Amino acid sequence: MTLTSTLRDAAFRWIADDPDAASRAELQGVVARALGGDAAAADEVADRLAGPLEFGTAGLRGPVRAGPNGMNVAVVTRTTAGVAAWLTAQGHAGALVVVGRDARHGSEDFATAAAEVLTAAGFTVQALPRPLPTPLLAYAVKHLGAVAGIQITASHNPPADNGYKLYDATGGQIVPPSDGEIERAIQAAPGAVDVPREPGAGVVDLLGGYLDEIAALPLGAERIVRVAATALHGVGAETLRAAFERAGFTDLHLVEAQSTPDPDFPTVSFPNPEEPGATDLLLALAAEVDADLAIALDPDADRCALGVRERDGSWRMLRGDETGVLLGSTILSTVDRTMMPDPLVATTIVSSSLLGEIAKAEGARYAETLTGFKWLVRAGDDLVFAYEEALGLCVNPGFVRDKDGIAAATLAAGLTAWLRAEGRTPLDVLDELAQRHGVYVTDQVSLRVTDLSVRGRLMGKLREAPPAEVGGVAVTLEDLLPDADVLRLTGDGVRIVVRPSGTEPKLKAYLQVVEPVRDSLADARAAAGTRLTALRTDVAALLS
Question: What sign does the dihedral 401-404-408-410 (CA atoms) show?
Answer: negative
Q: Is the pLDDT of residue 348 over 90?
A: yes
Give 142-198 pLDDT, tens digit per residue: 999 999 999 999 999 999 999 999 999 999 999 999 999 999 999 999 999 999 999
Average pLDDT over residues 402-407: 98
Helix (H) or strand (E) holding 474: strand 473-474
Confidence band, pLDDT 50/70/90 cuts, at residue 501? confident
Average pLDDT over residues 361-380: 96
In this prediction the pTM is 0.96
What Cα–Cα distance (Å) separates residue 498 from each residue in 86, 391, 463, 475, 487?
33, 19, 11, 14, 5
Q: Where are the beta strands (DSSP E) in 60-145?
A: 60-63, 96-101, 124-127
HSE-CB of 474 using CA atoms within 13 angstroms: 0
- Radius of gyration over every alpha carbon of the chain, rounded to an integer in angstroms: 24
Give 14-61 pLDDT, tens digit per residue: 999 999 999 999 999 999 999 999 999 999 999 999 989 988 878 999
The total number of residues written for the chain in this structure: 544
Give 248-304 pLDDT, tens digit per residue: 999 999 999 999 999 999 999 899 999 999 999 999 999 999 999 999 999 999 999
Catalytic residue positions, numbered: 155
Average pLDDT over residues 385-410: 97
Residue 74: the pLDDT is 98
Q: Is the pLDDT of residue 1 over 80?
A: no
Give 433-464 pLDDT, tens digit per residue: 999 999 999 999 999 888 888 999 999 999 99
Average confidence score pLDDT of the chain: 96
Q: Is the pLDDT of residue 538 over 90?
A: yes
Helix (H) or strand (E) holding 477: strand 476-479
Amino acid at the residue 472: G
Q: Is the pLDDT of residue 502 over 80?
A: no
- Report the C-alpha gap between 123 and 83 in whole angstroms: 11
Sheet of 148-152, strands arranged across: 60-63, 161-167, 148-152, 96-101, 124-127, 202-203
